[in-house]
Chains A and B, each alone.
Chain A
């Protein structure tokens, strides 16, 4: 099946630092989504990307859809304590007229120290 690998698996950073994480796949996806999950809660959508090469920002977050359509990157600038959580990438192949599933990555656990 399709596998999405995220790196790093986990990271400790200092408050104020910038963060980069990425997601790679052996398969092509039409859409890339980035979600954040806090303990015991559901994934919350952060950014959606629809075209190869697309660069999209949401506040301090910036994500890019890789040119090969097999990868995506998420950057967080000037991290704050509430950025703590697990970040998941998710890829989707669009099947017209049907509900297309998301394939989730393995997750990057972010911990921020003051």
Chain B
């Protein structure tokens, strides 16, 4: 069964460093998303992406964040200068259309 994959599973970085989180969405899906979940809290929307551009972004998704689909399979989230409060689980999701979103296993980002 096709699934969303994410790498790395765990990323530890120093405050101020750049990180890139990678996702491979389900192959025939057209809509892509990033969400994050701070430990013990609910899942929060960051950004959605369709037709090679951002469809919507939340207040969390400020100038330090960017997304890219560099080729036909990968979807990346970059944080330019990480802050302590960026520590969270980051989930990639994809959907085939106006239907269900399928989530990856997540990347745990720890900022020291």
Listed in ascending order, the chain A residues whose CB lies under 8 Å from chain B are 33, 35, 40-45, 48, 88, 90, 94-107
| Contact pick for B43, options A41, A43, A94, A95, CB 8 Å | A43
CA distance A44 to B44 in the complex (A): 15
| Contact pick for B56, options A42, A44, A101, CB 8 Å | A101
| Contact pick for B33, options A33, A35, A45, A101, CB 8 Å | A101
Q: Which residue of B lies closest to A50 (CB)?
A: B99
Contact B100 A103 (CB under 8 A): no
A99-B33, A100-B48 are known contacts. Are A106 and B42 too (CB-CB below 8 A)? yes
| Contact pick for A45, options B43, B100, B105, B108, CB 8 Å | B100
CA distance A102 to B91 in the complex (A): 13
A88-B43, A94-B98 are known contacts. Are A99 and B106 too (CB-CB below 8 A)? no
A105 proximity list for chain B (CB < 8 A):
42
A98-B55, A99-B32, A99-B48 are known contacts. Are A104 and B98 too (CB-CB below 8 A)? no
Listed in ascending order, the chain B residues whose CB lies under 8 Å from chain A are 4, 31-33, 35, 42-45, 48-50, 55-56, 58, 91, 93, 95, 98-106, 108
CA distance A7 to B75 in the complex (A): 35
Contact B31 A99 (CB under 8 A): yes
CA distance A95 to B91 in the complex (A): 22
Contact A102 B45 (CB under 8 A): yes
CA distance A101 to B105 in the complex (A): 18
Contact A45 B101 (CB under 8 A): yes
B44 proximity list for chain A (CB < 8 A):
104
Q: Which residue of A lies closest to B99 (CB)?
A: A48
Q: Which residue of B lies closest to A92 (CB)?
A: B101
Q: Which 4 pairs of residues, A with B, have the shortest CB-CB distance?
A: A99-B48, A99-B31, A98-B55, A42-B103
CA distance A100 to B93 in the complex (A): 12
Contact A101 B42 (CB under 8 A): no
Contact B101 A98 (CB under 8 A): no
A42 proximity list for chain B (CB < 8 A):
4, 91, 103-106
Known: A42-B105, A102-B43. 13 other contacts (CB 8 A): A33-B101, A42-B103, A42-B104, A90-B43, A94-B98, A100-B48, A100-B55, A101-B45, A101-B58, A102-B93, A102-B101, A103-B45, A104-B45
